[in-house]
Chain A
């Protein structure tokens, strides 16, 4: 208590777990979004930036903001901790299909398994996933990191 250790400096702000993955809201009224890339040649849209289009190999790609909402494609509760996971088991994981056609693996939050149904509306949230236990990219050990998650879409916001 009160002693700053190398790991877990108390006043450090959480940082995104990687570059160019998502944009945080600039004001409280704003919503976060995932950063994707769209092929100008064939129109295919992907989560994250790419060297070229995975479908047609065109290098003519543009950066796009992906839709913040999508439909739950599948889900599970993982009860055995996978290597390197920063959180605790059990936890909910799912795949969400965006209107663009891209499907994204993500942690699910603000819900329990019993309330989930394939096909339900989900929305993106950016949240802390824990503190790093090994260096990740340029991020040091003991840094609290933010990752992308989805939660059931709130009715009042529909």
Chain B
């Protein structure tokens, strides 16, 4: 695939994130999906200072709802007649909606775009599609089983220790305690606290796994020209976004990390920003092992360094390169398609200096990353800068 270089990008329009909003993440069974979604959009349009009736094009991501959730959110806010596109791309759905909003503006198709994600999840492990698949009936179509076996392999191959993986959970849960919108505010002090939680699939305990939950997030994108009318201070530019799917790999539990490696490489090339230029990262920590893998996939450090650096605090809020300041999927929660947009909310708040107790010291750039689907079937990387 050909990637636009920085030089070629000058021909497309600059894209600015004008405003962001998100709901608390948690369990809201009494709240219908359109109301959860509308709450996030209302906050984003107020933050952007625009009127809803101005009518941006809207990309609404959801992984579990009805196929027209975007229109149902719009109906909740008041009809505008705008084009609304529903986006489904598993855990990468929110980020994919952001990519589409970026493309709509960069290419000159629209001047203003809304990207949002909203989901409401049933309790318990993910899955349960109807009609049931053969693998689901056999109990082998299990996300927790797959990641427990990945952890087994990581230990067997001496890539990471169980303690190092547990320290991801300690860090992200503690960051989540500093985020008022987090689903969980559980203070963990050591790897042992993670080992002591309930066994889910050996050797993986509960705190190695992100929760399912409910929530929404929204972001308003616009042209540089339009942003100047609304923002007097520095603009937050969305400078790169690439989505990938996997190449051929053999067999179950195959190494699918290449999807993230290529998404990162392509986005670095497109944005002219490299891993060494990044000030902070929000990435896909669906399970603890994933965060260690993805830090390496994004080119931050080598495979044999990452576990030690995690234990050394390099990825904490005050560390050299903070990762998942928001609490990540593990602590903040993971209402599937809302996650990708919630990552952008965090990066924008951090760049504006509005992140409260979890504020990173004067960040100028940030990266967001998610993987979607059972085998890393989709991966995206976004880069924003002030």
Contacts and interface: CB of A to CB of B under 8 A. Distances in A.
A103 B252 contact: yes
Contacts of B202: 76-77, 79, 113
Q: How large is the interface on B (under 10, 10 to 19, 20 to 34, 35 or more residues)?
A: 35 or more
Given A134-B131, A135-B131, A94 B138 contact: no
Interface string A78-94: 11111111110001011
B186 interface: no
Given A101-B251, A105-B140, A79 B128 contact: no
Interface in B162-210: 199-204
A81 to B, nearest CB: 8
A103 B153 CA distance: 14
Indicate the member of B135, B138, B150, B251 with the most A CB atoms within 10 Å: B138
Contacts of B144: 78, 80, 82
B121 to A, nearest CB: 12
A17 B200 CA distance: 27
Nearest to B122: A83
A14 interface: no
B161 interface: no
A20 B31 CA distance: 45
A101 B152 contact: no
Give the interface centre of A74, A82, A135 by most chain B CB atoms within 10 Å: A82
Contact of A78 (B128, B131, B148, B250): B148
A85 B150 CA distance: 21
A17 B152 CA distance: 29
Given A17-B134, A78-B145, A97 B251 contact: yes
Interface string A92-104: 0111010001111
Contacts of B152: 74-76, 118
Given A82-B145, A105-B135, A105-B140, 11 more contacts: A75-B149, A76-B201, A76-B203, A78-B201, A80-B144, A84-B133, A103-B253, A106-B140, A118-B153, A129-B139, A136-B137
Contacts of A129: 137-139
B124 interface: yes
Contacts of B200: 78-80
A93 B128 contact: no
A147 interface: yes
24 contacts: A74-B150, A74-B153, A76-B149, A76-B204, A77-B201, A78-B148, A79-B200, A79-B201, A80-B124, A81-B139, A82-B142, A85-B137, A85-B138, A85-B139, A95-B251, A103-B251, A103-B253, A105-B135, A105-B141, A106-B140, A118-B152, A118-B153, A129-B139, A145-B137
Contacts of B136: 82-85
Contacts of A105: 135, 140-141, 252
B153 A84 contact: no
Given A105-B140, A136-B137, A44 B127 contact: no
B132 to A, nearest CB: 4
Nearest to A57: B248
B254 interface: yes
B156 interface: yes
> Which of A78, A94, A137, A147 has the most C-beta atoms of chain B within 10 angstroms of its own C-beta?
A78
A102 B134 contact: no
A135 B254 CA distance: 31
Contacts of B125: 80, 82-83
Interface in B195-233: 199-204
B140 A93 contact: yes
A86 B137 contact: yes
Contacts of A85: 136-139
* The 6 nearest A-B residue pairs measured at CB: A103-B251, A83-B128, A85-B139, A74-B149, A76-B148, A84-B132
A61 interface: no
Contact of A104 (B130, B153, B252): B252
A32 to B, nearest CB: 15
A31 interface: no
B248 A55 contact: yes
Contacts of A83: 124-125, 127-128, 132, 136
Contacts of A55: 248
A21 interface: yes
A69 interface: no
A81 B200 CA distance: 10
Contacts of B131: 134-136
A45 to B, nearest CB: 9
Interface string B55-77: 00000000000000000000000
Contact of A17 (B138, B141, B156, B201): B138
A101 B144 CA distance: 24
Interface string A114-158: 000010000000000100101111000000010110000000000
